[in-house]
Structure 1
Amino acid sequence: MTTTPALQPGSERAVPEPTALISVRGLTVRYGARTALDALDLDLHAGQIVGLLGENGCGKSTLLKTLAGVYADHRGDVRIAGHPLGPRTKAVVSYLPDRSALPERARVRYCLDLFADFYPDFDRARAQTLLARFRLDPALRLKEMSKGMREKAHIALAMSRRARVYLLDEPISGVDPAAREGILGGILDTLDPDSLLVVATHLVHDLETSLDSVVMMRHGRVLLAGDVDDLRAEHGGSLEQIFRKVYGS
């Protein structure tokens, strides 16, 4: 299933490359007797903001973990920027999991040093700009922050890599609407026009105006995918209405 971006007149989003930046064929992941991803096929191109939607347990997080190279026990062919999963793909993918692996006692400035040491493409100036935008003191420890503040700190770190692909797993879940707006603004304003952003979320309403295309999943497969404007025209409703219709059946 191939998705294509919705480019508005005067948009600064890049024209997609003819070859998919992410190409997935027959991806299968099993956890014991349970199949998390079931022979999944998917193509995603540069210059897109893609919403990865679906019910809990549909395979969204497993897909992102696999693309990020965190989960290696799978079958099928996965290529990012033309390369099979491995060190070359990890070098161009910035992944934000739904649960942080950073130590709770760490100060934000320590996290900046950690990312700068670990990722050659980490842009400290961009991170500092985002932290200032989010009004986060680099001297704060993660455990001293509210959930919304921690989300912002993690976003600042993930989006400050000069990556080609950004994979964000529920980056705005569990925070109030005002915090969501601020986080989304930071993500979108930082995103390079020729990069690919894939956001797993169940908050369709909050993201609808920002998305170029969507991938809706169920039982480890792609249920519906396409350009957001095309889907609205085809189904005669908003993305949230389409989501409710698809998952209400």
Structure 2
Amino acid sequence: MPVLECKGLTKRFGRTTALEEVSLTIEPGRIVGLLGPNGSGKTTLIKLANGLLTPDGGYIAVCGAAPGRESHSLVSYLPERTAIPTWMSAKQLMDFYGDFYRDFRRDTAEEMLAHLNIQPRQTVKQMSKGTREKVQLIMVMSRAAKLYLLDEPIGGVDPATRDYILSTIIGNYNPEAAVVISTHLIADVEKVLDEVIFLHQSRVVLQSTVDDIREEKGMSVDELFREVFKC
């Protein structure tokens, strides 16, 4: 069964169409790059999959269920902006995630926090911007979810932090799950991707494996993206 499936998915905001007739399938065990220019519909698709928005047409399902109360236990979501309470300590964050999500693996979170030398009593407010982003990602990736939706997980952080975040994603997701990474920093994430989905003007213009792009096109994903979306 696909982890995420869309058929003819459409979403409008007033007169603006954010997604139009989007059809795609994401299977378990895949890390998928959701790529496209600003305004192409990436965040809208992620929010629909997380049940934060409702479609105006078509079909979307997570492990066969429509996004909503039933699917919330299956999806681990990293929003584009840091959304963890700044007054909480690292320990309080783990307590919160442990209370809220049955699949939260506290030992995994504790191990990653220790690797970053983050003390359990250190509050989010005391952390640097890069460390806050790492901590939020650690909480998200410490769940044994079926679908991880990561919206710009490496935006605005230094290259060393990007490497740490990508290694965290690879090393900690449930192998029976799928990971969707929305990003503009294609060259940075390409090495971890199995597949890519290109969105343009609210539609899917390409879904392909990274290996097929390299073999059939003779170029990297970043090079193909620049060619497809050149101004």
Normalising by the smaller structure, the TM-score range is over 0.9
Distance in 2 of aligned mates of 1:134 and 1:66: 33
Deviation per residue, 1:77-115 (Å, 9 max, x gap): 111111122222111110111123322222221111111
**What residue ranges of structure 1 are gaps of 5+ in the alignment?**
1-18
TM-score by length of 2: 0.96
Indicate the residue corresponding to 2:26 in structure 1: 44
Report the secondary structure of 1:84's partner residue: coil
Distance in 2 of aligned mates of 1:212 and 1:90: 25
Indicate the residue corresponding to 1:121 in structure 2: 103
Q: Check whether the contact 2:82–2:133 (CA below 8 A) recurs between aligned residues.
A: no
1:215 matches 2:197: yes
Give the counterpart of 1:153 among 135, 142, 147: 135
Distance in 2 of aligned mates of 1:32 and 1:143: 38
Q: Check whether the contact 2:82–2:132 (CA below 8 A) recurs between aligned residues.
A: no
Indicate the residue corresponding to 2:17 in structure 1: 35
Report the secondary structure of 2:34's partner residue: strand
Distance in 1 of aligned mates of 2:168 and 2:117: 12
Give the counterpart of 1:60 among 42, 45, 63: 42
Offset at residue 135 of structure 1 (A)? 2.6
**What residue ranges of structure 2 are gaps of 5+ in the alignment?**
none
1:99 matches 2:81: yes
Give identity over the alignment, percent: 42
Give the counterpart of 2:125 among 143, 153, 158: 143
1:169 matches 2:151: yes
Give the counterpart of 2:170 among 188, 195, 220: 188
Indicate the residue corresponding to 1:13 in structure 2: none
Distance in 2 of aligned mates of 1:220 and 1:139: 44
Amino acid across the alignment from 1:229: D
Distance in 1 of aligned mates of 2:44 and 2:71: 17
Offset at residue 73 of structure 1 (A)? 4.9
1:205 matches 2:193: no
Indicate the residue corresponding to 1:230 in structure 2: 212
Offset at residue 74 of structure 1 (A)? 3.4
Distance in 2 of aligned mates of 1:27 and 1:108: 38
Q: Check whether the contact 1:49–1:211 (CA below 8 A) recurs between aligned residues.
A: yes
Q: Check whether the contact 2:90–2:121 (CA below 8 A) recurs between aligned residues.
A: yes
Deviation per residue, 1:184-222 (Å, 9 max, x gap): 111111122221011001111111111100001111111
How many pairs does the alignment contain?
231
Indicate the residue corresponding to 1:112 in structure 2: 94
Q: Check whether the contact 2:76–2:148 (CA below 8 A) recurs between aligned residues.
A: yes
Report the secondary structure of 2:86's partner residue: coil
Report the secondary structure of 1:186's partner residue: helix
RMSD: 1.3
Offset at residue 234 of structure 1 (A)? 1.7
Q: Check whether the contact 1:122–1:161 (CA below 8 A) recurs between aligned residues.
A: yes
Q: Check whether the contact 1:134–1:182 (CA below 8 A) recurs between aligned residues.
A: no
Deviation per residue, 1:131-162 (Å, 9 max, x gap): 12233222222222212101110011000111
Distance in 2 of aligned mates of 1:74 and 1:150: 35
Q: Check whether the contact 2:76–2:143 (CA below 8 A) recurs between aligned residues.
A: yes
Amino acid across the alignment from 1:106: M
